[in-house]
Amino acid sequence: MATKTADLESSIKVVSLASLKRDQVREEKGDWIESDTLPGVSYNVSSLNKTAFTNARDLMYQRLNKVYRRKPIPQEVLRVELGKLFHLHILHDWKGLDVAYTPEIGLTVLTDPGYRTVLADIESAAARVAEIDIEFVEGALGN
């Protein structure tokens, strides 16, 4: 019985703590992420965890909550306001679309409710910038 336990403990894969650390530079500066839904399209985006973005988003919600008080913020208003923040903090470039990225075109697309699928696709890409690659190591557990 002791042999089976020893064999089991020596073959257990454990998660490397170092692999769980975020890549701060990548999250803040951005990286190219392929679209989930549009073949051949990629976005250069920062993470949704970017400090400047989260601070600006929180302030936006405070401002809109004062305006709408106890009422829900209309989705059309929220999409436009979030689009402005994505333009300022998240989206840096795109490729694979028939129109080249410029800051002006980016702002127009991100604040036009008709392009809500593009905004959602960029949001998904920005969420994936923060993903980590979990690594496993062979050996006994640390505790």
Model's pTM, two decimal places? Answer: 0.79
* CA proximity to 56, closest of 16, 83, 27: 83
Q: What is the pLDDT of residues 34-60, one digit of tens each?
A: 999 999 999 999 999 999 999 999 999
- What is the reported pLDDT for 9? 53
- Answer whether 45's CB lies under 8 Å from 127's CB: no
| Mean pLDDT estimate for the chain | 88
Model confidence band, residue 33 (pLDDT cutoffs 50, 70, 90): very high
CA distances from 49 to 25, 72, 78 (A): 12, 24, 19
- What is the reported pLDDT for 127? 95
- What is the reported pLDDT for 135? 81
Q: Which residues face 15 on adjacent strands?
A: 136
